[in-house]
Amino acid sequence: MRFENALGESYNPISWLTFNDVLLKPHKSRFKSRNDKGISLETNLFSDVLLKAPIISSNMDTVTGSSMAKEMCRLGGLGILHRFHECYEDYYGMIDDVYCDCDRVAFSIGCGDDWIRFSERAISMIGEENAIVCLDVAHGHMEQSIEMVERLKQFGVSIIAGNVATPEGAVELAAAGAKSIKVGIGCGSVCTTRIVTGHGVPQLSAIINARRELDANGFEDVSIIADGGIRNSGDIVKSLAAGADAVMLGSMLAGCDETPGEIFTLANGSFKMYRGQSSRHFLKDIGKIDVAAEGESIEVKAKGPVDAIITELLGGVRSGLTYSGAGSIKELQEKAVFMEISHHGWVESTPHAITRVH
């Protein structure tokens, strides 16, 4: 991956960039179409965990429960169970339900002794070789998070840790024992962390810098999950080209049949609830009333089965690979050439035949 200016010269950008700030330069392609059998979207999340599709459903309580986790497994991706349950017994039941249909279960935990004890029992239920533990912390670059990863290592499981937005945070979690890092702070569609706290890093730069620093410190085998800010398949391609091994989707999957929650009817259609895990709606549900909210809760249109959405997104990603002349995610990362564009360059990139004659 490199950046190229209008003179064809490589350079290192001096601005903090996100997806709409760049385009990928098309290359000569050896593929006849995006359906060419020579194109593979397989990705190694861990050395012993190969995903056929680089998509992970977000571990939010309105996105991934057992139904979504099982369907993501069937589709070749991964669903990480959310950790917000009325009691641990309910959560154990959900993990067991997924384990009955899948060869691995990814579940989320927080920090502290209670979560260590929870993890120990959950892992004993399904076996360490089948367990993926995701340390789910809003600000993952904390001493407490790093210590938690070190404690989880004793169980011999695959560990995902996050969220971080800096290369230093990624490296420290990797050094503690995490084998996959969730990158992204404040870029989610219902997240207000950047507005409330003033902190965050534009997502494309966060991915690029984390990947470079991990590689520079001998953590080439530690994968990156780009979490947040993705609105279309093009953003997935840009994330992968920048160094991510997989992407995590929340709002794009919200409202699907497989997401937790009931469908309700309003005057303009059928909807489901989608909320940030620090939204006022969520905080009230878990009994936190004196905490500043860092998210929103919204109604999203009911979208039907997730299968159709994943299929369309993967088609776009496969097409994206052909435009870079790449047959795999690794080849995309090797060949990718980013170009910074102007605001008008982005406007030109979007559908602009909006004038209709009645």
The encoded tokens of residue 273 equal 């609830």
> Cα(96)–Cα(94) distance, rounded to whole angstroms?
5
Q: Catalytic one among 83, 211, 280, 318? A: 280
The encoded tokens of residue 4 equal 């190229």
Q: Are strands 297-301 and 269-275 parallel, antiparallel or unpaired?
A: antiparallel
Q: Catalytic one among 134, 191, 275, 318? A: 191
Q: Is 352 helix (H, G, I), strand (E, B) or coil?
A: coil
- Residue 73 appears among annotated catalytic residues: no
- Residue 280 appears among annotated catalytic residues: yes
Q: Where does the chain have alpha helices with state H?
A: 66-74, 88-99, 113-126, 143-152, 167-176, 193-197, 203-216, 233-242, 280-285, 306-323, 329-335, 343-349
Q: Which helix (H) or strand (E) holds 33?
A: none
The CA-atom distances, in angstroms, between 6 and each of 155, 237, 325 are 51, 22, 21
The residues, any chain, with a CB within 8 Å of residue 86's CB and separated by 6 or more, are: none
Residues annotated catalytic, as ranges: 191, 280
